[in-house]
Amino acid sequence: MGLAASPQKKRHRQDPQPSPSSPSTSSNPASPIKKIKKSKYANAPPAFLHNGPTSSASKLSNGISSTSVAGTSSSTLAPSSPSRSRTVPASNVSNGLKWTESALKNVDPRIVEARAALPIASGQQAIIDAVRAYDTVVVLGETGSGKTTQIPQYLFQAGFAERHPVQMIGVTQPRRVAATSLARRVAVEMGQPDPAMLPSVKGKARTAAGGIVGYSIRFEDRTTRNTRIKFMTDGMVLREMIGDVAYGPSSKSIASNDALESTSSSSAAVRSNLLLKYSVLIIDEAHERTLRTDQVLGLAKRIQRERKALRQSWLDRGKPSNETEITELKIIVMSATLDADRFANFFATPSRALAANATLTDPKILTAANDKQHVPILYVKGRQHEVTMFHTEEPAQEWTDAALRTVLQIHVSRPPGDILVFMTGQDEIDTLARSLELYSSELPAWAEAESKPLPMSLMIAPLYAALGPSASAKVFAPTPPRTRKVVLATNIAETSITIPGIVFVVDCGLAKEKTYTPGTAVETLEVSEISQSAARQRAGRAGRERSGECYRLYTQEAFKGLALAGTPEIVRTDLAAAVLQLCAMGQDPYTFDWLDQPDATGLQESVLQLIQLGALDIKTLPALNGSDGEAEKGKAKLVLTAIGGKMAMLPVSPAYSRSLIAAGERGPTVARQVRDLIAILSSDRSILVEPSDPEKRDEANKAKSTFIHPTGDHATLLTVLYSYLGESDKARAMSKARKTEGKVDVKVVEKEAREQVRAWCSNHFVHEKAVKNVLHIRKQLRTICRQQKILCDDDLQEKLANSTSAQDEDPSEEESDSSSSSGKGVDKTGLFVTRKTNGISKPSDDEEDTHFTGLRQSLLEGRIANAALKNPSTPNTYKRITSSASAGATFKIHPSSTLHPSKLAREGGGKKLDAILFEELVFTTQTFARTVSVIEPSWLQEFAQRG
């Protein structure tokens, strides 16, 4: 399928992946393609024409080619050396094969046939042999070759995932949507149950319900004891890498230089973060270079070599029966577009972090394990379906308008097939969705006027991170008959995700990117050009199920001018969370194995911030036995404190985790408030709707006035959440009362209750989907707070209600986020419901602080660096109190804040804002503070004296 070969248009196939011999700087590998005049489709010609299929410019053959670094140049994969291989009894091998065959007994033969047609299938044995022979393998393959879904299955079939002891194949993904969708797809291919449908049961029932494939993402774990192929986000594997070390005393991170025998008693704490349940770790989409991906790469390198040293020591000591056998870890790094040599060289060289702390085993064994390695690079040639590329002849003046025209032209002129449009953000997606819905309603009239066949219906499906799994379900659902689905997505759909039915891709060539500036702590969200790597990834979305077409809203010359790869996140983000996680694993951020060394200023500021929060301390190392005492004397090391260990185990930013710990010390009510607020702030989308229409904006401001709290935005957001829960409780109570009246349709009553809540959200400009996402995060935070012994009043009330009034519960009542309990006027959410004023829930006793003093003080303990004092020299400006801020750096309160001077003036003014606390600084036309609350200057003095 292709566009007409008319004189006005130009086409070429998707840029193939450069071969190992091709220069890495080549911007257009498919140079032999004949030159035809470029398409002007973005300038909206009457229609696209179709004259039949186009021929391929360069046919790529299937198969695997191989190169390697660090001493080997042969393309033939060497057999595994005796020192690397494990001696496994024949009976165990036989039992393992039987178990593997039994696990795959439900595979559909049609799926097996489809998998065999993938380009990667011809290299299955070569991949398995390479993983067996080498510790680390880099796999580079085109989008659509099948590497992400097939390689984990190949390794499972080859016996890399054992039943006893548990050995899993872990697959990391940069994004949640990719991890969940890939797990579900692989589960289908292996004849396993859908992990997303795993019942909420525990114990033996959960084990029986789970299959071989599972996934783990933030706030959602869909794995069981049966899981052997585990898809997870980079953040989740990092949490497993932390292990139990964060709980251990700081002395454990400063071990003695004795032999391994003397450290075996404490090896449990050391080994708990070595991913011992994983035999293979696949780091997918490594080219995206997120901060977490870089952390995973560095930690995996150290863990791999440390496990090798521990295993060799165990073998040399005669395999002591009182010690658990430690296996070696295989690492596979793969992507469709990757600087393969750079990644291979990174894993081939010794680990700096392990060499800097050579205390876990015998130095000779450690040196041997940390020596140079051979790292082969496997190239998967070809893709299952070809993609025809189209560029605009002239740069588009307005890319959103060009995207609209392109989608409509594809819809009225091209054969059936869904469309994927890459856009920059949620606002642009919502705008284009409204425009498409408007134009699609006029298409029947246009077809009649032009005497053309009636076009198919258009189904608009947005896809961005804030939607959540349930809201994005229709993106992956089959397209209805006589309908064309148009998926409007951010770069979340750029990698690893296969959206069924996509044939056409429209690429704007832009993406939103956050940049953090150390020193000023200003975070800028800017629209910037994507890289050639990202452009190829986007184009590859069109050829997953059949031949496709990609329409780039930029010229071919512009493509050649793009950077080869994107800017690593590590050089443009706040490093505080990364430093805390590394220190929790006993790693020194200054000697860590970074693929790209982070900015020295940013790293130093992050360390100082964590010291200020009480998470880190600086200790002086004692002289080690047998070493030069003078050389070691005075050497400092960052050590995790008890508070830091607790912070590291909370899956939120260091500022939020410190605030949550401080709230727990102030009592259960404050702990509940801070926990709920963190859930709101951790959501990807605001719970308040901000209309772009000026008239709607005025209406929204009036509706939101009922929620405004005089202390600022934090309390206001919390009030919105509690008001929503109060309305939900009211609707549920009315529904329950109607059910007891007599013969009523239960489904109708429940639907009316939902509509009542939905109408309340619409009238008050509250985003219901965002609130539900907050409640989901809040539910997970409740579990985590219980685990960390942070008591909240709703948990205490729930225990009291269960112990005193269990007989009054209605077992038929559907479980919800907010169900009122009797006795104390507090429901399970901690929402006081006995008396309300202006729609705001008020307490029934003195426990609830209506001024949220404890809340703001707890937030200040975690955000002390974000406290600011009023600048007396300039009206309505503020300056941070921390010395790390650049001299003279002042800012204003963002216009969206309830404390903005214009809004205070409408309320009569008179409010003193001598000191404020904010969530973030952003730069648009100037620097603004967002999500602001007023604080007392005396609190700053108190915290300064305490520190």
pLDDT value, residue 755: 93
Q: ∠578-579-581 over CA atoms, to 5°?
A: 65
Residues of the chain with pLDDT > 70, as a percent, come to 76
Buried (b) or exposed (e) across 718-753, using 16+ Cβ within 10 A? bbbbbbbbbbbbbbbeebeebbeeeeeeeeebbeeb
User: Average of pLDDT values for 254-266?
Assistant: 34
Tokens found for residue 644:
């830091």
pLDDT in tens, 652-702: 899 999 999 999 999 999 999 999 999 999 887 789 988 867 778 888 888
Distance CA 831, CA 840 (A): 10
| Arithmetic mean of pLDDT, 228-235 | 94
Check: CB of residue 425 under 8 Å from CB of residue 466.
no
pLDDT surpassing 80 at residue 37: no
The two three-digit tokens of residue 828, written as one number: 């399970």
Cα–Cα distances (Å) from 730 to 403, 707, 754, 819, in that order, read 45, 18, 11, 10
Positive or negative, the Cα torsion across 559, 563, 564, 567?
negative
Helix (H) or strand (E) holding 528: strand 522-529
Dist. CA 829–CA 839, nearest whole Å: 17
Q: Is 587 helix (H, G, I), strand (E, B) or coil?
A: coil
The mean pLDDT value for 488-515 works out to 86
pLDDT in tens, 164-208: 788 999 999 988 888 998 999 999 999 999 998 887 666 666 666
* 756 has pLDDT over 90: yes
DSSP notation for 813-835: SPP-S----SSSSB-TTS-B-SE
The single-letter code of the amino acid at 581 is: Q
Higher pLDDT, 137 or 162: 137
Confidence of residue 622 (pLDDT cuts 50, 70, 90): low
Residue 255's pLDDT band (cuts 50, 70, 90):
very low
Q: What is the 3-state secondary structure (H, E, C) of 850-913?
A: CCCHHHHHHHHHHCHHHEEEECCCCCCCEEECCCCCCCCCCEEECCCCCCCHHHHHHCCCCCCC
Specify the range with the lowest mean pLDDT, choosing from 3-7, 122-126, 572-576: 3-7
* Type of residue found at 694: P
How far, in Å, CA of 904 to CA of 910, rounded? 8
Give mean pLDDT, residues 148-153. Answer: 94
Please name which of 685, 687, 615, 602 lies closest in space to residue 657, comparing C-alpha atoms: 615
Could you tell me if 860 and 947 are in contact, meaning their C-beta atoms sit under 8 angstroms apart?
no
Give the per-residue pLDDT at 74.
Answer: 33
Query: Which residues contact residue 611 at a Cβ distance below 8 angstroms, ignoring those fewer than 6 apart?
Result: 617, 618
With a pLDDT cut of 90, the percent of the chain lying above it is: 36
Cα gap 827→437, rounded to integer Å = 42
pTM score, whole prediction: 0.72
DSSP-derived secondary structure for 643-686: HHHHHHTSSS-HHHHHHHHHHHHH-HHHHHHHHHHHHHHHSSS-
Average pLDDT over residues 832-857: 55
* d(C-alpha 892, C-alpha 303), whole Å: 46
pLDDT confidence band for 469 (50 / 70 / 90):
low
pLDDT of residue 84: 42
Beta bridge partners of 927: 923
pLDDT tens string 388-445: 999 999 988 899 999 999 999 999 999 999 999 999 988 899 899 999 999 999 998 9
Are residues 153 and 121 in contact, defined by beta-carbon separation less than 8 angstroms? Answer: no
> Are 933 and 857 contacting, i.e. CB atoms less than 8 angstroms apart?
no
pLDDT score of 845: 37
Element holding 778 (H helix, E strand): helix 768-787
If you average pLDDT over each of 259-268, 487-496, 636-645, 721-730, which comes out highest? 721-730
Q: Residue 534: is its pLDDT beyond 60?
A: yes
pLDDT at 269 exceeding the cut of 80: no
